[in-house]
Chain A
Amino acid sequence: MNDILEPIDKLEPLKDIGGVAQPLLQVVSLTKHFPVRGGLFAPSKTVRAVDDVSFAISKGETVGIVGESGCGKSTTARLLMHLMPRNSGDIIYDGRTVGRELSLRELRRGMQMVFQDSYASLNPRLTIEESIAFGPKVHGMADKAARLLARELLGKVGLRPETFANRYPHEVSGGQRQRVNIARALALSPRLVILDEAVSALDKSVEAQVLNLLVDLKREFGLTYLFISHDLNVVRYISDRVLVMYLGEVVELGPVDEVWDGPAHPYTRALLAAMPSSDPDNRTETPPITGDPPNPIDPPSGCRFHTRCPFAEAMCGEATPKLTEITVTGHQAACYMAIPGSGHSKAPAAGVQ
């Protein structure tokens, strides 16, 4: 519609290198420990916020990350965006390792993030148009072109540019602000967008609208999403695959329907059982999980879940179970009960499957 008047200048997305078979993002042994200052006489300790996390995201899919608050979901997002230094681990974008074959600047063109707090993530002193245009200008686009792009993107996220472009963040509603944040992320033409609790703070009706917008944008721009949320319903709705985190570790991962229908890790089972049901006959009667998550400063030995797990046996406290493939479709779990021949009394016999 606009192209007759004046073609809108856009940043070219990073070139596809490896084709469809190459994952867009590979995360290998990502680790982040925060030092915690001890007391006056106490030694300093470390919080293992993200501990040896590995996963891959294929081109065009949506991967969800779920877990309780404090499990390392948001830290993972910030590590991927290189907003904080990691202790170890590699991040490989479309076959190129960040820091070696791919510069940080290029990565930031290829990967963008939407934050949870829609207000805090917009500079209160810039108009909406200026906020969206900032990124493209950083990457060399002229002011005029960047502003045109910003208006174009406002249209794409469902905000009339002539109404919203010159407004300040405090002058629009929460849902509208989150649309602005999405437009800001898209302004750099990324191929991967990390959505860190991006819809969690919105009213339910608004949340649904923004989710639908995300689905539409994904189709239109051919995006890949990493969708972080504590809301299991939302994750199931939008994700192809899901990753369950507990105290900084991945405990289960697999296609979303498979995980939902047959959770292999007792933590995942507990999370799913804790979901409120809208069916009164299907009401949750007993709390599936009790207690708070253990202190991440001093995580339990062995399987970190064994202190809350109803099926824990002696071996669970001794060695950490590895994330192991349990189906051919890529469903993995880190639980002795799911690992054939592990020695746990509820484990399937070795060689089955």
Chain B
Amino acid sequence: MAQPFTLAHIGYMLDGLLWTVILSALAFALGGVAAFGVMLLRISRFRAVRLGAFVVVQIIQGIPLLVILFAVYFGLGIFGIQVPPLAAAGIAMMIYSAAFLAEIWRGCVEAVPRTQFEAAECLALTRWEALTKVILPQALRLATPPTVGFMVQVVKSTSLASVVGFVELTRAAQIINNSTFQPFLVFGIAGALYFAVCWPLSAWSRVLERKLHVGRH
């Protein structure tokens, strides 16, 4: 017997939305830190380090997020490590975001003219000083629009966490649909909620992109 769709269901979905946002923020924060480290390896002076980081990034980029998620959730279980769904989803999304953000940021660092690095090193700055005081501030301006754009991908990808039983927005909608049998209504609302989060991000990304082309500071 199908239940009617009520306001309580909306509340349940908003709760799911909150977890979607939390998981996105977690993935982005952890992934961002990891990505910065990977990016540094990707621009290392040492060829072997660059190559190693490149291979790892390529492998991760070539694996579906869902597979990474299963590997973390079920894989760690084999070693007797029971990870709660939020942790498993957080770790998997961190790995995924790190691989993509690292490449986005590497591109931005390399887009800063090589001569800037040369000028800094000719003033006796160390490589690290040149990177932090001259290159990164300029790369940051370039990196902001694509980074915000990638956040949209992260938000949408969190829906995959529903398969390991993590009740975020998609899983919440699925549960409600199982009892109400109103898929168009339920998933329509879920879609609208995703859109409500993602569209402002894309719009912000476009604004940032426009700003970048006007003036340099």
Chains A and B come from one and the same complex: no
